[in-house]
Amino acid sequence: MSDKLFRLAFSITGSRQDAEDVVQDALLNVWKKDEWENVENPEAYCYRSVRNLAIDKIALKENQQEAWNDGYDKPDAEESAQERLEQEEHLLLLENFIRQLPEKQRTVFQLREVEELNYKQIAEVMNVSEEQVKVNLFRARQKIKAFFERLL
């Protein structure tokens, strides 16, 4: 689960080092937790812990400019160098755009589209209603769609 937690932390902080620190702190807190019988959904608890720590981290430190996801698919060898450069440029623009979304929209988008959590799980992680999750996801998708329309 640490990879999923890392991706969430990284999507919020934008910094690989900060994300690693956040995940480490969250896992230490989880390890020390004594009252596990009171936790209904341990996975949601871990996501919420990472989310809260990441938000605290960026509140204390300016968000650093790093790639949002270094693990994107590599282009086919047949593609020209120009096409690869254009794809990389578009990906960087998209990453920067997603990083500029409001925190709730960015987090909901990350949890739904990357981590593939359902609405109920996201609502538990973020401590909001499922309707708020749907609204934030809709708004994030609309903004991303408009970004792509302008880009292409």
Give ∠ CA 93-132-110 in degrees, rounded to 5: 35
Both 58 and 105 in one domain: the answer is no
Given pLDDT bands bounded at 50, 70 and 90, which one contains residue 79? Answer: low
CB 95 within 8 A of CB 68: yes
Given pLDDT bands bounded at 50, 70 and 90, which one contains residue 78? Answer: low
Model's pTM, two decimal places? 0.54
We report the CATH number of the domain holding residue 116 as 1.10.10.10
Q: Is residue 72 part of a domain?
A: no
Most distant CA atoms of the chain, gap in Å: 57
Both 104 and 144 in one domain: the answer is yes
Q: What is the pLDDT of residue 53?
A: 87
Residue type, 1: M
Query: What own/partner pairs with CB < 8 Å and gap ≥ 24 does 49-53 have?
Result: 50/5, 50/8, 50/9, 50/22, 50/23, 50/26, 51/8, 51/12, 51/107, 51/125, 51/126, 53/9, 53/22, 53/25, 53/26
Both 6 and 36 in one domain: the answer is yes
Q: Is residue 52 part of a domain?
A: yes
Q: Which of 11, 34, 64 is the last residue of a domain?
A: 64
Domain that holds residue 94: 82-152
CB 106 within 8 A of CB 95: no
- Determine the Cα–Cα distance for residues 70 and 57; give it in Å rounded to an integer: 21
CB 72 within 8 A of CB 64: no
Q: Is residue 122 part of a domain?
A: yes
Q: Is residue 74 part of a domain?
A: no
Token pair for 117: 């959590």
What mean pLDDT, rounded, does the chain reach? 80
Question: Over the stretch 81-109, which tens digit does the pLDDT of each residue have?
Answer: 777 777 788 778 878 888 888 989 989 98
CA 79 to chain centre: 29
Q: Is residue 71 part of a domain?
A: no
Q: Is residue 70 part of a domain?
A: no
Give ∠ CA 10-108-112 in degrees, rounded to 5: 90
